[in-house]
Chains A and B, each alone.
Chain A
């Protein structure tokens, strides 16, 4: 698996070359669409006018400026619109991670050392982990700019993409009513209930993916009964699930 992005984290004048990989596993139970005789199907684009399937070079990207009217934008133009500076993640500020409201967090990625030396990488990870700070910056990946918090854990750098401030709605935007005065007694009653049901830790059992477990159980049982099994002649390797954990371990292992 190739990195999603490779670039440089900078803080002050220091640069840390990194490669970016997802920190989340993809769907563990992806279902494939099959024909009635069991051939895995492909999704294809086709022309509304001729009804014919289209190849990549017969399609372009368009922004709809008014109904049915589009402005074409090419890959090359998008590429040139990203200033080179934004291909780096410049950590302009370091903040306490707990000070970032959860509403901002979007998606996690791991950053592994790139380039020839990992000294600067380990230095940045150590400093951030010791000081319990995360660095904030922006960067461009695949035609989109991201606000990002870089955190360190176990000596490994992690990037959490954040939503931009203009993507966050306020309670007033949503139209929530103004706060009402509440009785102290009602608050105290809830406080007591909250401490009664408080736990020291979040058990991972709470976050178990039960729907997938149920699906996999059904698959296992049908497989052992040889029920509804179809085989295709062509045993292509696509659809093989890559475990992101293996990719990360390889990428983090000392290469030098």
Chain B
């Protein structure tokens, strides 16, 4: 079943104008719980309460404030907050293009597919050009009252827009102190390098499953049928040998596995 577009916009840069639809590119598959009242087994509700009097405060009496020092707030009216809102627009403005290695993986936030909205030829030409040039466009747009920055990229012939986090939000490793200590042992460095090489391969996400969610769902289904499944804690043992011993043991066992596979 085709998904519904969550927003419509126009990609704009230079004299170009590409009408697009936005679709979420991900689905949340984690197991979600509700909070229940133990006595009645019904869903609980939430409200805002004055903690001094335990009195419920209705929405129209709530004001919003920014704490400037402990216990001191500057109150902002709905009107003032409204005025801070960006102007609604359908334009996704591309300000520049950069090579993907300049966008740290730390910046990427939520991915969206863009689909053509009436002009398929232009859409697919842009996707192909981005792929050929190996570039990502830096985009800015306003969607549902919120301002976004994003990376426009091509993936498997299609256009994708991934929202980017704000500069102020991300802590860069360059601003942190490098952990110091005695010089590392050359032999250990070489062995660790060998070990990483032995474990090197392609990125194959399908090889990893959310086994925990599967176990939780299995447990819930059994419980729903009335059985009381038993749970055992699985213990694992960890060795305490020296680093270089552990490294050489690991290399030997991995090499052994590889040879067996090859044979």
B65's partner among A31, A84, A128, A197 (CB-CB below 8 A) is A31
Would you list which residues of chain A between 35 and 69 have a CB under 8 Å from chain B? 35-36, 38-49, 53-54, 57-65
Query: What residues on A are CB-neighbors of B67 within 8 Å?
Result: 32, 239
Would you list which residues of chain A between 167 and 218 have a CB under 8 Å from chain B? 167-171, 173-177, 179-180, 182-183, 186-191, 193-202, 204-212, 214-215, 218
Q: A36-B61, A108-B170, A123-B184 are in contact. Are A24 and B165 (CB under 8 A)?
A: yes
A-B contact pairs, 18 of them (CB 8 A): A14-B243, A25-B168, A29-B66, A32-B67, A35-B62, A47-B39, A53-B49, A70-B34, A99-B202, A113-B179, A133-B196, A156-B179, A174-B3, A194-B133, A196-B14, A200-B102, A218-B80, A227-B74
Question: CB distance A81 to B121 under 8 Å?
Answer: no
Closest to B52 in A: A39
A12's partner among B40, B188, B247 (CB-CB below 8 A) is B247
Q: Tell me the bound Cα distance from A53 to B55 in angstroms.
A: 10
Question: CB distance A46 to B44 under 8 Å?
Answer: yes
Question: CB distance B169 to A24 under 8 Å?
Answer: yes
Q: Tell me the bound Cα distance from A118 to B27 in angstroms.
A: 38
Q: Tell me the bound Cα distance from A133 to B195 in angstroms.
A: 12
B263 proximal to A (CB < 8 A): no
Question: CB distance B44 to A47 under 8 Å?
Answer: yes
Q: Identify 7 new A-B residue pairs, CB closer than 8 A, beyond the known A43-B46, A65-B224, A201-B102.
A: A33-B63, A47-B44, A63-B31, A88-B236, A151-B105, A170-B156, A179-B158
A242 proximal to B (CB < 8 A): no
The interface residues of chain B, by DSSP majority, are classed as: mixed
A2 proximal to B (CB < 8 A): no
Q: Tell me the bound Cα distance from A186 to B130 in angstroms.
A: 12
Q: Tell me the bound Cα distance from A235 to B111 in angstroms.
A: 42
Question: CB distance B74 to A42 under 8 Å?
Answer: no
Q: A62-B36, A194-B135, A229-B72 are in contact. Are A215 and B44 (CB under 8 A)?
A: no
The interface residues of chain A, by DSSP majority, are classed as: mixed
Q: Tell me the bound Cα distance from A64 to B41 in angstroms.
A: 11
A208's partner among B166, B188, B234 (CB-CB below 8 A) is B166
A228's partner among B74, B84, B133 (CB-CB below 8 A) is B74
A38's partner among B73, B77, B128, B199 (CB-CB below 8 A) is B73
Question: CB distance B195 to A102 under 8 Å?
Answer: no
Query: What residues on A are CB-neighbors of B95 within 8 Å?
Result: 197, 206
Closest to A235 in B: B71
Q: Tell me the bound Cα distance from A196 to B211 in angstroms.
A: 48
Question: CB distance B97 to A198 under 8 Å?
Answer: yes
Question: CB distance B179 to A231 under 8 Å?
Answer: no
Question: CB distance A240 to B177 under 8 Å?
Answer: no
Question: CB distance B76 to A252 under 8 Å?
Answer: no
Question: CB distance A48 to B42 under 8 Å?
Answer: yes
Q: A85-B234, A95-B203, A174-B2 are in contact. Are A34 and B46 (CB under 8 A)?
A: no
Question: CB distance B201 to A197 under 8 Å?
Answer: no
Query: What residues on A are CB-neighbors of B14 within 8 Å?
Result: 193, 196-197
Q: Tell me the bound Cα distance from A211 to B220 in angstroms.
A: 43
Query: What residues on B are CB-neighbors of A30 within 8 Å?
Result: 66
B247's partner among A14, A91, A179 (CB-CB below 8 A) is A14
CB distance from A93 to the nearest CB of B (A): 5
Question: CB distance B105 to A100 under 8 Å?
Answer: yes
Question: CB distance B196 to A94 under 8 Å?
Answer: yes
Which residue of B13, B37, B128, B182 has the most chain A CB atoms within 10 A of its CB atom?
Answer: B37
